[in-house]
Amino acid sequence: MKYPSPYLTVVVIGLLFSLASSASHTHDHEHFLQCLQLQNSTSISEVVYTPSNSSYSSILHFSIQNHRFLSKTTPKPLVIVTPLHASHVQATIICSQLHGLQIRTRSGGHDFEGVSYISQLPFVIIDLINYRNIEVDAETRTAWVQAGATIVFRVERTLEQNATILIMKWQNVASKLHEDLAIRLELTTKAKFEALFLGGKDKLIPLMQERFPELGLVKEDCTEMSWIESTVYMVGSSSKSLQVLLQRTPSLPQSYKGKSDFLKHPIPESGLEGIWQLFKENGDKFAFMELFPYGGIMDQIPQSKLPFPHRSGNLCLVGYLDSWDQHGRDEVAQKQIKWITRIYSYMEPFASNSPRAAYLNYRDLDIGVNNIGYTSYEQASLWGLKYFKNNFNRLANVKTKMKFCSCENRVAEKFRGEEMQDNSYLDEFMEGTHSFYKNKRNKAKSNTQVPEDN
């Protein structure tokens, strides 16, 4: 079976988000299913799942990585579509617009807050589980992956082994190391230094002795492997087989909560002492704080060049994560969420400010959410500026233009060019769509409309 190119997928998903919110129409999923058949009668029925299907629950739960959102009270989609072709995605977008349904797009299901498969309004999920092929155009797009050696090491140090001093040194050198070397840092009640180096031991050891001799790295700490093997090692898998990369379900079912920060200056020694104390008080072996060094190419790309703005001037990205085995024990979840909120609050004096920036892939609804319905630009800025900084204004303007112009034109053209069994049904939709977007444009003149998805 031939899958669409990655470039077409990007275009389709871009359109998807521009059409995510829609006019208020009936939420009858039977009419929605009929619409899908009219739009794509040949094969779409094979990839559509409703609660009446025996496979509905297994499809819904398959990619939910965070079991915090597996409760009975978690909102469920009216329909799940697992497209095989771009036409399946297009049909789902158009019919969702027609019937006033929200769209949630899910790939790996890793969203920290479950936003890729949860909505407080009636919704459908476009699950991209079948979009897993990669096509390379050898004439215009070429990817080279060399089979050279990769060195990894994982070195742990306790407080008695001068972990605090080592962290202070890491903060000063990690973002300035050789471009082929990256050392990330994990904090619990001790410090773990994990590194990936594109080269051999004979080059790595002298490099470490010159820039970070305090760590005391020796050849025996290093393991040589291929780059693909290093991906298994770096995620902490107990298996050395590459087959583990093909597993599409989490090895350990868990619930978790995450937050993020960016550091522009080193955490002082007194600040590190407070972090050690918080981990000691928590006593949970699954809680950790991870620091990813920046620098390198990140320092060479202007903040305004791409939507992702967190580049030059950042020492590292900080991730806070705590996980637990749910099993219906709400008191455990409340305790761990309270702890991660506490360490996040403790880190405020050391994190970036004005705004306190956040990493979108570590989505955190605590920093702000949109209303169900209309959300002003001012309110959306509470979270938007943290994720996108000054790029948020540009992104909001682009999305607003797409919503008011591209949405109306593309949906209208699609329906005008195709026959429907009930022409009055189409006329009602066209009239309602025109009125809806005309009103939206009028509102936009006085206050920028921000789409409901964040």
| Rounded percentage of the chain residues whose pLDDT exceeds 70 | 75
The candidate with the shortest Cα–Cα distance to 256, out of 69, 130, 421, 390, is: 69
Least confident segment among 150-154, 162-166, 350-354: 150-154
Is there a single domain that holds both residue 157 and residue 98?
no
> Domain count of the chain?
2
pLDDT (mean) for 335-347: 95
Return phi, psi of residue 262, to 5°: -125, 135
Better-predicted residue by pLDDT, 454 or 111: 111
Residues 18 and 76 reside in one and the same domain: yes
pLDDT in tens, 155-194: 999 999 999 999 999 999 999 999 999 999 999 999 999 9
Torsional class of 407: left (φ above 0), alpha (ψ -120 to 50), beta (otherwise): alpha
Whether residue 204 lies inside any domain: the answer is: yes
Whether residue 47 is contained in a domain is answered as: yes
Per-residue pLDDT tens for 426-449? 344 334 444 544 454 454 444 444
Residue 317 lies in a domain: no
Closest to 108 in 3D by CA, of 129, 80, 135, 86: 129
Please report, as a single letter, which amino acid is at residue 189.
Answer: T
CA angle in degrees (0–180, nearest 5) for 413-418-423: 100
Give the confidence band of 41 by pLDDT, cuts at 50, 70, 90.
low
Mean of the per-residue pLDDT values of the chain: 81
Query: Which of 85, 157, 96, 97 is CA-nearest to residue 128?
Result: 85
Looking at 229, 247, 265, which one is the last position of a domain? 247
For tokens 């299913």, the residue is 33
Q: Give the residue with greater pLDDT, 426 vs 66.
A: 66
Q: Which two tokens stand for residue 257?
A: 């909560």
For 198-258, give the DSSP string: SS-HHHHHHHHHHH-GGG---GGGEEEE-HHHHHHHHTT-S---GGGGG--S-SS-BEEEE
- Are 281 and 335 in contact by the 8 Å Cβ rule? The answer is no
Same domain, 113 and 209: no
Domain match, 150 and 238 both: yes
Do residues 80 and 152 share a domain? no
How many angstroms separate the CA atoms of 188 and 168, rounded? 16
Q: What is the DSSP letter of 267?
A: P
Report the alpha-carbon angle 432-435-437, nearest 5. 105
Mean pLDDT of 206-213: 96
Whether residue 123 sits in one domain with residue 62: yes
Q: Are residues 236 and 160 in the same domain?
A: yes
Return contacts of 374-378, CB within 8 angstroms, 24+ apart. 374/443, 374/449, 375/450, 375/452, 376/447, 376/448, 376/450, 377/447, 377/448, 377/449, 377/450
Residue 122 shares a structural domain with residue 153? no
* 119/23 same-domain check: yes
Q: Which domain holds residue 210?
A: 145-165+194-247
Instruction: With respect to residue 187, please indicate whether it lies within any of the assigned structural domains.
Output: no
Residues 157 and 75 in one domain: no
What would the pLDDT profile of 297-308 be if each residue is shown by its tens digit?
888 888 889 899
The answer to whether residue 287 is domain-embedded is no
pLDDT of residue 454: 40
In the prediction, which pLDDT does 261 show?
98
Peptide bond into 307 cis (omega under 30): no
Please name the residue that has the structure tokens 């637990």: 324
Residue 307 lies in a domain: no
- DSSP string for residues in 324-348: E--TT-HHHHHHHHHHHHHHHHHTG
For the record, the structure tokens of 175 come out as 């973002």
pLDDT value at residue 74: 92
Residue 10 DSSP class: H
Enumerate the active-site residues: 362
Buried residues in 282-316 as b, exposed as e (16+ CB within 10 A): bebeebbbbbebbbeebeeeeeeeeebbbbeebbb
CATH code (residue 108): 3.30.43.10
Q: What is the largest CA-CA distance in the chain?
A: 78
Confidence at residue 205, expressed as pLDDT on a 0 to 100 scale: 95
Q: 86: pLDDT confidence band, cut at 50, 70 and 90?
A: confident
Taking a C-beta distance cutoff of 8 angstroms, is the pair 65, 250 a contact? yes
Which helix (H) or strand (E) is 192 found in, with range?
strand 191-197
| CA distances, 224 to each of 250, 275, 318 (Å) | 27, 33, 28
Q: pLDDT at position 95, please?
A: 92
The answer to whether 400 and 444 have CB atoms below 8 angstroms apart is yes
For the record, the structure tokens of 307 come out as 């939507």
* Same domain, residue pair 27 and 89: yes
Q: Which of 75-79, 314-318, 441-445 has the lowest mean pLDDT?
A: 441-445
Give a yes or no: residue 7 inside a domain: no
Mean pLDDT of 350-367: 96
Query: Residue 356 corresponds to which tokens in the numbers above?
Result: 């306190």
**Residues 6+ away with beta carbon under 8 Å from 435:** none
Q: Which of 186, 212, 247 is the last residue of a domain?
A: 247
Same domain? For 100 and 160 the reply is no
User: Which tokens in the block code for residue 132?
Assistant: 């897993």
- Tell me if 2 is assigned to some domain: no
The three-state secondary structure class of 14 is helix
Structure confidence at residue 218 (pLDDT): 95
